[in-house]
Structure 1
Amino acid sequence: MGSTNYRGTLILVADDCPSDEAEIPPTRTKSPTVAELQYALISARPYEMTSDDVLFEVFATRNEIAADKRTEAREAFFAKDQVCLRSSPLGKRYGWGIHHDADGRVALVAVGSDDYRALAADPEVKQLKAMRSRRA
């Protein structure tokens, strides 16, 4: 099973992120977007879930996978390579850095905040950029 988890890493906002400050993704009435679901999961439970947990939970929610089928579905989901949170709309569009602690659990960090600046300046924290939305 592949993993998307990082440890001791900050995913910085993308170079082409249009937001100068962190924004809560707008709510859609029909079905929640990936950004909405990721934001809701991570913001409600900072440093409780890993990247793998977040990505699978979003997949399971969007595909209406029943609770009793999730173990099998998770194995099938990670049997294929998955994109990591560097491709999340939170870092690409909405101005959120994603910090992975030493155990791989994630929390959101608002761009421009004291926490964001401190983590970005910490030599012990690996820095990765969220993927750009457009080619350079």
Structure 2
Amino acid sequence: MAHTTNYTNTFIEVSEDCPAECGVEPPIAENLSIAALHFRLIGEAPYTRTSDDVLFETHALRKGIDLGDEQARAEFFSKGQACLRTSPLSKRYGWGTHHDELGRVAMYPRDSEEYAALAADPALEHRRAMRSSRRV
């Protein structure tokens, strides 16, 4: 059974304990971090990839897997995967993600007018990114 992480017509707001007051670009390291890869994949082409696309491409780039390997993609999604609510972009770096009617994703900094408009849009489903720390 294939699992999916795709949302439609949904805005994922930054987590309640996100330390960034504005959208911050993750540091680019020699070995690209998950945050840096998510930032690059979503930022370079907004509304062209779904959450599943972003997560598989991140996995493939980190593991040296051919992006066109459908068997590897099917194997990756044969188990449940954490969705973009767990992305460091929304947990640590201050970026909300909007998923359109086709599940394609774009990101917006929490201090932008676009973020505020999406956060206030009653036509969208609203979710919070997962907290980084447990409540005490």
User: TM-score by structure 2 length?
Assistant: 0.96
Deviations 1:74-115 (A, max 9, x none): 000000000000000000000000000011000001102110
Contact between 2:13 and 2:127, CA under 8 Å: does it hold in 1? Answer: yes
Deviations 1:2-38 (A, max 9, x none): 1100000000000000000000000112x00000001
Unaligned runs of 5+ residues in structure 1 are none
What is the match of residue 45 of structure 1?
45
The structure with more helix, counted as a fraction of residues: 1
- For residues 27 and 120 of structure 1, what CA distance do their matches in structure 2 show? 28
Unaligned runs of 5+ residues in structure 2 are none
Instruction: Say what the alpha-carbon RMSD is for the aligned residues.
Output: 0.8
Q: Which runs of 4+ in 1 moved over 3 A?
A: none
What is the match of residue 101 of structure 1?
100
User: TM-score by structure 1 length?
Assistant: 0.96
* Secondary structure of the corresponding residue to residue 15 of structure 2: coil
State, as a whole percentage, how many aligned pairs show the same letter.
Answer: 49
Question: How many residues get paired?
Answer: 134
Kindly report which structure 2 residues correspond to 1:12-27, keeping only aligned pairs within 5 A, or say none.
12-27=13-28
